[in-house]
C-alpha cells in the first residue's frame, strides 16, 4: 500500500528548482538553432555585394562569354591556390587575366597573368565557385567549367 509522505522543507525546495529548470532547458534548445542560423548571415561574406566591385568577362569551356560586375569567390575578392608546398593569395586588383587548364578530378591549374606583366601558376580546387552580378541576375560557375576570366581595367 502506498502512502503519501510529507516532504521536508529542503526536499520541497529542490523539487521546485527542478520543476523550474524543466522548462528552461527545452526553451534554450529551441532558441539555439535560431541564433546559429542567423550567424551565417551576419558573420559570412556577401556574394552579392563584395567589398570591392570587380568587372570581368568569364568564358566557360563551351566558349560562352558572360560579362559581370562584383566578381568574387564566396564573397572574397582574391584568388587563393597552391603554389608548390605553400599557398598564395592574389588580390583581384592585381590580376589582368586567368586561364584555366590541366583538368584532374579535384584540381585545375590557374595561370594568372598579373597587371605588372608577371605570370603565376596556381593549383585550385575544381569546386571553387566564382560569383558575379549580371544584368539579369546572380551568375555562378565552378572553376572546373571555366576556360578564362578577363578582368576589366
pLDDT per position as a tens digit, 77-108: 999 999 999 999 999 999 999 999 987 899 99
CA-wise closest residue to 149 among 67, 91, 49: 67
| 144 within domain boundaries | yes
| Greatest mean pLDDT among 24-33, 37-46, 126-135 | 126-135
Range of the domain at 141: 56-151
In a domain, 115, yes or no: yes
Please tell me which residue, 34 or 89, carries the higher pLDDT value: 89
pLDDT confidence band for 21 (50 / 70 / 90): low
- Tell me if 68 is assigned to some domain: yes
Within-domain flag for 107: yes
Residue 7 in any domain: the answer is no
Say which residues have a Cβ less than 8 Å from residue 31's Cβ, sequence separation at least 6: none
Place of cell 568564358: 59
- Residue 56 contacts residue 149 (beta carbons within 8 Å): yes
34: in domain: no
What's the total number of domains in the chain? 1
**pTM attached to this predicted model:** 0.71
pLDDT at 102: 87
Domain contains 40: no
Kindly state whether residue 17 falls inside one of the protein's structural domains: no
Does position 12 have pLDDT exceeding 70, yes or no? no
The predicted-structure confidence for 50-80, as pLDDT tens digits, reads as follows: 999 999 999 999 999 999 999 999 999 999 9
CA distance 50 to 130: 12
Amino acid at each position: 500500500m502506498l502512502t503519501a509522505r510529507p516532504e521536508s522543507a529542503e526536499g520541497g525546495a529542490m523539487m521546485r528548482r527542478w520543476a523550474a529548470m524543466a522548462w528552461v532547458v527545452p526553451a534554450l534548445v529551441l532558441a539555439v538553432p535560431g541564433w546559429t542560423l542567423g550567424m551565417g548571415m551576419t558573420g559570412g561574406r556577401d556574394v552579392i555585394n563584395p567589398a570591392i566591385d570587380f568587372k570581368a568577362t568569364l568564358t566557360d569551356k563551351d566558349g560562352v562569354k558572360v560579362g559581370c560586375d562584383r566578381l568574387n569567390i564566396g564573397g572574397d575578392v582574391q584568388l587563393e591556390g597552391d603554389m608548390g608546398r605553400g599557398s598564395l593569395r592574389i588580390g583581384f586588383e592585381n590580376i589582368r587575366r586567368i586561364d584555366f587548364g590541366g583538368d584532374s578530378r579535384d584540381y585545375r591549374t590557374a595561370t594568372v597573368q598579373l597587371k605588372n606583366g608577371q605570370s603565376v601558376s596556381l593549383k585550385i580546387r575544381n569546386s571553387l565557385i566564382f560569383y558575379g552580378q549580371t544584368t539579369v541576375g546572380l551568375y555562378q560557375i565552378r572553376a572546373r567549367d571555366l576556360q578564362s576570366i578577363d578582368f576589366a581595367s
